[in-house]
Structure 1
Amino acid sequence: MAGSTAISCLHYRDAPAAIAWLCHTFGFVEHLVVPEKDGSISHAQLSLGDGMIMLGSVRDTDYGRLMRQPDETGGLGTQSIYLVVADVDGVHARAVAAGATIVLPLKDEDYGGRGFTCRDPEGHLWSIGSYDPWA
């Protein structure tokens, strides 16, 4: 079996812009993108190394009603995503240049690795670091 068995799923108000931002800023690659006629995204899969996230546009569906966007919770999240990357400083520089809000600064961690935490343009929380829990 290739890849991860746990895949995070996100909703975005502007999913096409989120896909472009995530690919440019964090280095994701489009694996599958299913657009709707209205320009929204029915389903997308973005890969990064052996990992993947799935995302789509915010929709009024049974599943969609189970989720809230960060702007609906006062900016507080109920989950975050951790990305293992080799060049933390490079990703940090791209995130700052792309307008990410850095909420925890770039630093070396006591348990090993280096990392930072930021919010993407729609407020989702991302932690990026070189610590690999599989290593």
Structure 2
Amino acid sequence: MTDGTRRTFYPIVDYRDPVKAMDWLERAFGFERHEVARNDAGGIVHIEMRYDTGIVMLGETGKGAGEGGGNAGMYVAVDDPDAHHDRAKAAGAEIVIGLADKPYGSRDYSARDLEGNVWHFGTYRP
């Protein structure tokens, strides 16, 4: 936009078990907990995960924006896709597209998370 207004978006990915997803995303993909909000009973009501300058919000299936887990796709720019790939694979991520150099100058791979969402990681930065 050229009107001077700043616009930012934050994707939301729904999971049947967002707490388990939070732990897995941290272990497998290197995301960091940014905010974990709890209700008075101690239950999780909101999760934000950070990767570099990006934030993704995790919701619970049926309580958030989506109808169910396993249907989202995200692209995350990383500095070292080889190391990132190796970390994800070691944590048990299903690699669905192997690590490769792309014709548009990026080095990418894609992995499925514990509920079937596909995450794409590479050096491409639009």
Tell whether the 8 Å contact from 2:16 to 2:68 is kept in structure 1 after alignment.
no
Q: RCO higher in 1 or 2 (8 Å CA, sep ≥ 6)?
A: 2
Q: Deviations over 1:30-84 (max 9, x none)?
A: 1110235375x3111111111100012224x4x45x42222xxxxxx3x410000
TM-score (norm 2): 0.84
CA RMSD of aligned residues (A): 1.9
Provide the C-alpha distance between the structure 2 equivalents of 1:68 and 1:58, rounded to a whole number of angstroms. Answer: 5
User: Number of matched residues?
Assistant: 119
Q: Which residue of 1 aligns with 2:112?
A: 119
User: TM-score with structure 1 length normalisation?
Assistant: 0.79
Structure 2 gaps of 5+ residues are 1-6
Aligned with 2:8 (options 5, 21, 27): 5
CA offset at residue 121 of structure 1? Answer: 0.8
Secondary structure of the residue aligned to 1:25 is: helix
* Corresponding residue SS for 1:11: strand
DSSP-derived class of the 2:88 partner: helix
Unaligned runs of 5+ in 1: 71-76
The answer on 1:44 being equivalent to 2:44 is no
| Equivalent position of 1:25 in the other structure | 28
